[in-house]
Amino acid sequence: MKHIKLYSIIALSLFLALMSCGNKQEDVAASQQAPPAPFPVTQLEKKTVTGYQEYPTNLEGIVNSAVRAKTSGYIQKVLVDEGQKVRKGQVLFKLETQSLNQDAGAAKARVNVAQVEIDKLTPLVEKNIISAVQLETAKANLAQAKANYSSVSANIGYATITSPVNGFVGTIKYREGSLVSPNDSNPLTTVSDISEVYAFFSLNESQYLDFLQNADGKDLEEKLANFSDVNLVLANGSSYTEKGKIQTSSGQINQNTGTVSLRAVFKNPNQLLTNGNSGKIQIPTVYENAVVIPQEATFEQQGNIMLYKLGEDNKVTTVIIKVKAAIDNLYVVASGVDEKDTIIVSGVGKLRDGMAITPQETSFDEAVKPIATLFKN
């Protein structure tokens, strides 16, 4: 009985071993017969796209007029408030004039005294009783008294401080009771015309050369006139509705900063923009009929941007591409592929050079469509 059991165990083991070998052979055969993995592919097309270079900017009203006292005195009244719209000539501040009125009275009295002296000396000179020199001296004293009186009268006029331009009142730095003078470092306020605003920004030397080369015209003035409108991105990330125009350029490189200063102007009908606003200027560059590829189709290796191109027998080959610009989710291609090539659109991390795939045709428009953002910070 022991021998029979031993034979049974040996037979069972052989049977299981044979079954295992059969299963492995079936698995190998099945793997050999499985088709290559599927990957989405698309044939490249040319497309016109617009890219933007961004530059930090600061905004100012087209007119910023500092309002200063022309005479010393205490502020008696502040007749406007910050942010108020004012017209040219409107009274903003009144200074206390009591002491000035007293000075004016004294100056007027000196004028009268000098006039009386002339009236007294004139007949005496005519009768040759006294020298004409005395009369001339009296006339000089009268002229000086009148000049002093005019100066004091002007100071009384200066005590009424008006707006030099149409615009909006800025920060009021002095209030009623403050002593002000023409020598104060800070103005009383600033009145700004913000119907239009200037956006100041800078380009480095290389960027400035690119800017000039992309603009049509024979000289700087013509290039600026012909250059495309620019965009303004506000501090909160939103795009300003009005387009801007680059008006001026310093045309010279600042030796300290290595940059060239430019100024763009934007209309400001709703007074959304004001002095001190910051943002970014976007200068457009249009790439017409350019070969573009989705960035998702590429990978980097040793500093090179690469992609997989579909070749014969549905085998993929790696290609190094040169990129002109990155715009949103796309690369604008300078060299490496052309519009006749078919590339693998996604999943490139799973591919190896020479690997066979099962192509899944994808339309070019679908391939280059931006991926929707599911979550935002």
**157-174 per-position pLDDT tens digit:** 688 899 999 999 999 999
- Sequence-separated (6 or more) residues with CB below 8 Å from residue 120: none
Q: Which token pair is 204? A: 């480095």
In this prediction the pTM is 0.64
- Between strands 316-327 and 330-335, the pairing is antiparallel
**In this structure, are residues 358 and 314 in contact, taking their beta carbons and an 8 Å threshold?**
yes
| Rg value, the chain, Cα | 43
What pLDDT score does 201 carry?
A: 94
According to the model, what pLDDT value does residue 99 have?
64
109: CB partners within 8 A, 6+ apart? none
- Confidence label for 242 from pLDDT (cuts 50, 70 and 90): very high
pLDDT tens readout for residues 285-339 = 888 899 999 999 999 999 999 999 999 899 999 999 999 989 989 999 999 999 8
Q: Return the bridge partners of 192, or none.
A: 64, 168
Q: State mean pLDDT over 135-151.
A: 77
Cα→Cα distances 222→51, 109, 115, 263, 286, Å: 23, 65, 66, 15, 19
The three-class DSSP label of residue 336 is coil
Give the tokens for residue 287.
Answer: 């790439």
Tokens in use for 62? 């087209």
Helix (H, G, I), strand (E, B) or coil at 21: helix
Confidence of residue 376 (pLDDT cuts 50, 70, 90): very low
- Output b/e per residue, 120-145; b: 16+ Cβ within 10 A: ebeeebeeeeeeeeebeebbebbeeb
